[in-house]
Amino acid sequence: MPRQPQEIIIQGSTLNHIAGNYIDRPNIIFGSGIQALSQAISHGAMHDAAERDPPPRCHPGTRKKASEDIVRWIEEPNPSSSVLWVNGRAGVGKTALMQKIAERGGVYFGGCFFFRRGVPGCNQKGSLFSTLAYQLAMNIPGMLEHVEGAMLKDFSLPTKSAAVQIQRLIVEPLKLLPIPPHIRIIIIDGLDECEGVDSQCDILSLVSQLLMDPSVPMRFIIASRPEHQICSTFNKGPLISMTRRLILDDEYDSASDIERYLRDKFAEIHTCNRDVMRRVESPWPSEDDLLTLVARASGQFIYVSTVVKFVGSVTDFLSPQEKLKVILNPDPIQASAFAELDRLYTQILSGYGDSEVLPSQNLR
């Protein structure tokens, strides 16, 4: 049976001709531009993303000096640098430190992007600046309206080149605002995990060009491993003259932080396993064993976090004290304990095409 015609009432609409076809397009209401931008960004790269929950975090009481130095730089009214490069070896806790700074938030926070190798949307340059623009629109009073306007003029902006995204979604909206009372801080973590060496260098070049404009009230914190291409870019103009370097090494007392972390975590393991450790005296382990682990870590939090994860895991075969012995006394079973580290270092080594340029220090 043929369908009966129905009365259709269209209110507040315009008829637009697109690519030879007529479509009915309701008048755009405020918010549709930012909604379109929201659908094109990488939500998983933000510090409070559900897919990063729980994110890497600094253990309470650790990284105090490093975080205090960063906060001091953020709050300095007239610093000699507009970029802070936080660098260090794999596993020293750069991402946890950046998470701590991002969670601190406050009037200085503009936005962040946490690169993650192999994670779609979080491992490429394409969505970086549109994601930062979205956060700036949310965090800077008055900017939402101007980012909205830019998107309404061209919904395809998130697909444009990074340079176009910066100009249309960040620079131009910022210039329409009154002079802000506070500089906004952008955090880019894990630059070395962005896919493509050229993309990593291009991001640094774009950041330097952005900051050369005195009308852009912004600073960047960039965290990465000190890989060759990144070091080379930071060692050239204009970045070399606008960058302060913060190296997470012995100056920031990593050994002391690691010792504190181990004492606290082993105390938790002892408490949570009273049934199988009732005859093990506390504090556990012995001072010698604990300091051996601190020395083996060589400043790498990923080493001790892997140790704690293995020792504290629930199994039917080995008690925590037996698993600690496996760690302290090399044994074939130890390979399973350090599977996570093996994956990390395999990842690092695969980035070197020439074995002659491999770092000379012992990775583990």
Verify that 183 and 99 share a domain, yes or no: yes
- Which pLDDT score, from 0 to 100, does residue 14 have? 38
Q: Are residues 69 and 183 in the same domain?
A: yes
Residue 245 and residue 297 in one domain = no
Asked if residue 112 belongs to a domain, the reply is: yes
One domain for residues 305 and 265: yes
User: What are 69-123's pLDDT values in tens digits?
Assistant: 999 999 999 899 999 999 998 889 999 999 999 999 899 999 999 999 999 999 9
pLDDT at 342 over 80: no
302 and 224 share one domain: no
Shared-domain flag, residues 74 and 143: yes
More confident residue, 358 or 334: 334
Res 208 pLDDT > 50: yes
Give the domain range for residue 340.
254-349
In a domain, 282, yes or no: yes
**pLDDT at residue 26, rounded to an integer:** 40
Q: Of the residues 233, 251, 269, which one is the last residue of a structural domain?
A: 251
List CB contacts of 250: < 8 A, sequence separation 6 or more.
299
| pLDDT at residue number 338 | 57
What is d(CA 341, CA 362) in angstroms, rounded to the nearest whole number? 13
Note the residue count of the chain: 364
User: Is residue 274 in a domain?
Assistant: yes
Task: Measure the CA–CA gap between 160 and 167, rounded to whole angstroms.
Answer: 11
Both structure tokens of 136: 């700036």
**Which band of pLDDT confidence, cut at 50, 70 and 90, is reported for residue 274?**
confident
CATH of the domain at 96: 3.40.50.300
69 domain-assigned: yes
Mean pLDDT of 296-304: 88
